[in-house]
Structure 1
Amino acid sequence: MQANDIPRAMLKPLRRALAALSALTVLTAPALAAPRQQGDVLIRHATIVDVEKARTVPDQAIVTRGGAIVAVGPDKAIARDWAAPRTLEAAHRFVIPGLWDMHVHFGGGPDLIAENKALLPLYVAHGITTIRDCAGDLPYDVLAWRDEIARGSLFGPNLLTSGPKIEGLKPIWKGTLEAGSKADVDAALARLQGLKVDFVKITDSTLDPQLFLYAVARAKALGLRSSGHIPMALTVRQAVDAGLSSIEHLDYARHPGSPDEAAIAADFAAGRINRAEANRRLATSFDHATAMAAYRRFAADGLAVTPTLNGSRIIAHLDDEDHSHDAYLAYIGPKLRKTYDWRIERAAKATPAEIAARHADIERVGAILPMLVEAGVPIMAGTDAGFLNSFNYPGIGLHDELDLFVAKGLTPAQALTAATRAGPAWFGKLDRYGAIAPGKVADIVLLTANPLTDIHATRAIDTVILRGRVHDRAALDAMLAEARAKVAAWNAETAQ
């Protein structure tokens, strides 16, 4: 039938119908062929490790854009809706949030600035995307590095720092803000606020115990988190009540396990006993029930503990473990290695009885760790790596710490939580870190094995994504090779 054969009365309704059909086609065509959303990196077929729930979620896809994760979900659905110029095939890969080392140090004096700075890529090469600097004698250099990393002009992990620590007058440690009065403490805190530090570190080599409490309380009043070494003349409870946010080193957490802690502190303050005797009495009077009651109060107060257990173990066993041929020494500059001598020489002077005592003591201290976890105290993985602390290596040291956590009774999931979620929680940053989810910072590690079944899997690193930038295995190996080359050149200079 030709158009001329259609009765004139039917043409108008037919034209209307055709126009409506055409409009419908125009409206529905874009929906049927909607363009995919654009990201920068698409990770496909991954098994996501949900650290919070201690489970794995298979066949997932992750999209990053800029420095953030923008989509996560079943692989088929994400791949349908998203496109990216770079795709990572992650079949048989386990994806975890970037690791955090919550206790590192940089120092040794101005001559060691370059060797300290060269440590930064070692953290990234070992899956560590954030570090917390707990003060040394190069605090202003470290503050500058923090800002340069944030601007993108220096390569390294996200760096959070205390800046210079608060100490007493004429302290053992250099790089401090000295305080001999409340006015000094107030001035120190004002200085730290001006430096925009990420938290406050307070130590006890010469700081008056009451000024320690004042500094902690004032920091809290100013909205600053505080961490430190608790004076022997105080009980841990006094420090926590003043507002201390975290305890560094597991041996301090042993103190409240003694029913005699207050009496021991009073005897030390009065000069009736020395530090060694105070520690001996605290150890021998330790009581499980007393400790658990104290630790439950820690948990209720929100206090966190950074055990730095492996660093203490290394020092305790300097007499019977030979580190002179450690392969990792190839990454440590000669001047930094020289700072190790201080502890090595101290350990060498110990008597057989003292050696046996420190071996036994590190085992007793390690037994506290599962008690803290049972009580609900947040454990933050940190190494104490850096200058002075012999053979406690930046980067690989965090994996050694996690291994020891599991050896002392934690589950792999608990150890992984200590290295991925506890740090962000302490800094109030869990909304941006600690999980693989939309809205989180794109700090991601791809592993070739499941860390929930074997914590050694944190070492099996395939790829590190730092602030959205991909570093595959070849790039990570290149970082390590560059670090070795720098140290080799410094070694050659030293030998001349």
Structure 2
Amino acid sequence: MKTTLSLALSGLLLAVAPAALAARSTADVLIRHATVVDVEHGSTRPGQTVVIRGDDIVAVGDDKTLAGQWRAATTIDAKNRYLIPGLWDMHVHFGGGPALIEENKALLPLYVAHGITTVRDASGDLAEQVLSWRGQIANGQLFGPQLFTSGAKIEGLKPVWKGTLEAGDEAGVDAALDREQRDQVDFVKITDSTLSPELFLYALSEAKKRGLRTSGHIPMALTVGQAVDAGISSIEHLDYAFKAGVKEEAAIAADFAAGRIDRAEANRRLSAGFDRDTAMAAYRRFAALGVAVTPTLDGGRILDFLDSEPHDNDAYLAYIGPGLRKTYEWRVERAAKATPAQIQARHEGYAEVAKVLPMLQQAGVNIMAGTDAGFLNSYNYPGIGLHNELKLYVREGLTPQQALVAATRAGPQWFGTLHRYGAVEAGKAADLVLLERNPLQDIEATRAIDTVILRGQVLDRAALDALLTEAKAKVAAWDAGQTR
């Protein structure tokens, strides 16, 4: 009797097991035994399973519970490694002219190889190509990070910068904004090479009326507050945030506009006039109005300290094409001509500007990690540059968590897409980075990358190394072609 019953039960279990297996939900990727980093709150959750279907995270939870509910074609054993949202570089450049299109295009995989799943192009002279790359990446036709771009920048007539939309009056600004909207740019970049202060403010206000985000280089003849009043959305480079903290900024701007002082004297007075109370009032206003700041701290530091920290033998130059390397020369040559007094002033200037970073954090400003990497900006490397930037943020007073927020959540906040990015949660994009160490304890852990997941595609360490190898091989071939 017992034997018959046992056999019957065994048969029943065999019949049920395949049905139970079939009832498990199907995903594309399971990441098991992960320590999920909650960047927003600065905490970790060990023993998690993350479920990915397509380019979406569909579930996150305790491994013991969740892993039994899902099956997937690919399962990653994270082995307690640390899982963070993909990194964002919110200030990069592509440019150098049509001859360098392929060299610029070859930079895209470098970002991914360093855990950067989104970049914001702040304009160069290859606007049409970058706009095309944006669409190709979104459609899966081109490999690279998610790409946001300003398209061509808005400038005055006959500016220093190439590839711009030139405007000499309000009608010219209107036409430029019409073009930006036809190109469906993600934001508008406005610079001050030859654009008059009045037209700069007009461009900001008109862009705001059209619902366009803006960033730019603020003319010396204006205060930063005037640009904020006109509607600027992000302030690029920490120097402008420093300028906003100068008590006599308005008087200096007026004197410059009237021709009573030149740029060198204006900068001297700005450097001597910083006031903490003035700065904090300005920064609190940035925060209240949602104006972000992209420090691009490392780019300036590289040039400021070339005398004591040379980069001409950097190993990373092997990933940068010969044409792009050549664009570095003019800044390097200019820095090399500095007198000892000018070099000392550069060092002191860096320290003066860097000290405002924790003040911005204290005031609640949205600090967006951005590098200024790309052509012209000497030794400011696409990919590794963001990790150098984050290291400086911590060195200059931010916590590792605050630096990580700047590189994972600040960009989505500015673009209004925090519902989609900036956390390892169900409903978010499957743009993730698996790290060997805890970045909340040491920000340099962002360099210790085991795996990158880009729009649901898994790139393990071997695949990431292959991207780097391929990039280096392309550069070697270009170099060889030049020496024949």
TM-score by length of 2: 0.96
1:259 match = 247
Do residues 175 (structure 1) and 163 (structure 2) align? yes
Among 77, 98, 119, which residue is 1:89 paired with? Answer: 77
2:3 match = none
Question: Cα–Cα, structure 1 residues 83 and 360, in superposed 2: closer, same or farther, change >3 Å?
Answer: same
Q: For the residues of structure 1 that align with 2:161 and 2:20, how far apart are their CA atoms?
A: 68
Residue 315 of structure 1, CA deviation: 1.0
Among 349, 368, 382, which residue is 1:361 paired with? Answer: 349
Q: Percent identity?
A: 71
* Structure-to-structure mapping, 1:110-149, within 5 angstroms: 110-149=98-137
1:305 match = 293
1:438 match = 426
Do residues 281 (structure 1) and 269 (structure 2) align? yes
* Structure-to-structure mapping, 1:220-239, within 5 angstroms: 220-239=208-227
1:341 match = 329
Residue 170 of structure 1, CA deviation: 0.4
Letter in 1 for 2:39: V
In structure 1, the residue corresponding to 2:137 is in which secondary structure?
Answer: helix
In structure 2, the residue corresponding to 1:324 is in which secondary structure?
Answer: coil
* Structure-to-structure mapping, 1:154-233, within 5 angstroms: 154-233=142-221
Letter in 1 for 2:161: W
The answer (yes or no) to whether the contact 2:319–2:475 under 8 Å persists in 1 is yes
Q: For the residues of structure 2 that align with 1:30 and 1:447, how far apart are their CA atoms?
A: 36
Do residues 241 (structure 1) and 234 (structure 2) align? no
* Structure-to-structure mapping, 1:390-409, within 5 angstroms: 390-409=378-397
Unaligned residue ranges in structure 2 (runs of 5+): 1-15
Q: For the residues of structure 1 that align with 2:422 and 2:136, how far apart are their CA atoms?
A: 23
Q: For the residues of structure 2 that align with 1:326 and 1:245, how far apart are their CA atoms?
A: 35
1:50 match = 38
Among 38, 61, 74, which residue is 1:73 paired with? Answer: 61
Q: For the residues of structure 2 that align with 1:162 and 1:257, how far apart are their CA atoms?
A: 28
Residue 93 of structure 1, CA deviation: 0.7
* Structure-to-structure mapping, 1:412-427, within 5 angstroms: 412-427=400-415
Q: For the residues of structure 2 that align with 1:98 and 1:164, how far apart are their CA atoms?
A: 27
User: Deviations 1:88-133 (Å, cap 9, x if unpaired)?
Assistant: 0012210000000000000001111111100000000000000000
Residue 319 of structure 1, CA deviation: 2.1
Among 475, 485, 494, which residue is 2:463 paired with? Answer: 475
The answer (yes or no) to whether the contact 2:85–2:432 under 8 Å persists in 1 is yes
Among 317, 327, 336, which residue is 2:315 paired with? Answer: 327
Unaligned residue ranges in structure 1 (runs of 5+): 1-27
1:108 match = 96
Name which one, 1 or 2, has greater alpha-carbon Rg: 1
Residue 34 of structure 1, CA deviation: 6.8
Hey, which bits of structure 1, 4+ residues long, moved more than 2 A? Answer: 28-34
Letter in 2 for 1:184: G
Q: For the residues of structure 1 that align with 2:169 and 2:42, how far apart are their CA atoms?
A: 48
The answer (yes or no) to whether the contact 2:252–2:266 under 8 Å persists in 1 is yes
The answer (yes or no) to whether the contact 2:50–2:57 under 8 Å persists in 1 is yes
1:377 match = 365
TM-score by length of 1: 0.93
Residue 33 of structure 1, CA deviation: 6.9
In structure 2, the residue corresponding to 1:85 is in which secondary structure?
Answer: strand
Q: For the residues of structure 2 that align with 1:177 and 1:33, how far apart are their CA atoms?
A: 60
Among 432, 438, 441, which residue is 1:453 paired with? Answer: 441
Residue 29 of structure 1, CA deviation: 10
2:259 match = 271
Q: Which moved more, 1:314-323 or 1:133-142?
A: 314-323
Q: For the residues of structure 1 that align with 2:172 and 2:82, how far apart are their CA atoms?
A: 50
CA RMSD of the aligned region, Å? 1.4
Question: Cα–Cα, structure 1 residues 183 and 79, in superposed 2: closer, same or farther, change >3 Å?
Answer: same
Do residues 487 (structure 1) and 468 (structure 2) align? no
Residue 72 of structure 1, CA deviation: 0.4
User: Deviations 1:380-401 (Å, cap 9, x if unpaired)?
Assistant: 0000000000000000000000
Letter in 1 for 2:152: P
Q: For the residues of structure 1 that align with 2:239 and 2:267, how far apart are their CA atoms?
A: 9
User: Deviations 1:409-458 (Å, cap 9, x if unpaired)?
Assistant: 10000000000000000001101000001111100000000000000000
Q: For the residues of structure 1 that align with 2:358 and 2:197, how far apart are their CA atoms?
A: 30
2:11 match = none
1:16 match = none
User: Deviations 1:122-173 (Å, cap 9, x if unpaired)?
Assistant: 0000000000000001111100111110111110000000000000000000
User: Deviations 1:183-228 (Å, cap 9, x if unpaired)?
Assistant: 0000000000000000000001110101000000011110100000
In structure 1, the residue corresponding to 2:301 is in which secondary structure?
Answer: helix
Q: For the residues of structure 2 that align with 1:184 and 1:30, how far apart are their CA atoms?
A: 69
Residue 350 of structure 1, CA deviation: 1.3
Q: For the residues of structure 2 that align with 1:64 and 1:48, how far apart are their CA atoms?
A: 14
Residue 32 of structure 1, CA deviation: 6.9
In structure 2, the residue corresponding to 1:83 is in which secondary structure?
Answer: strand
Q: For the residues of structure 1 that align with 2:309 and 2:401, how far apart are their CA atoms?
A: 29
Letter in 2 for 1:264: I
The answer (yes or no) to whether the contact 2:46–2:80 under 8 Å persists in 1 is no
1:37 match = 25
How many residue pairs end up in the alignment?
A: 470
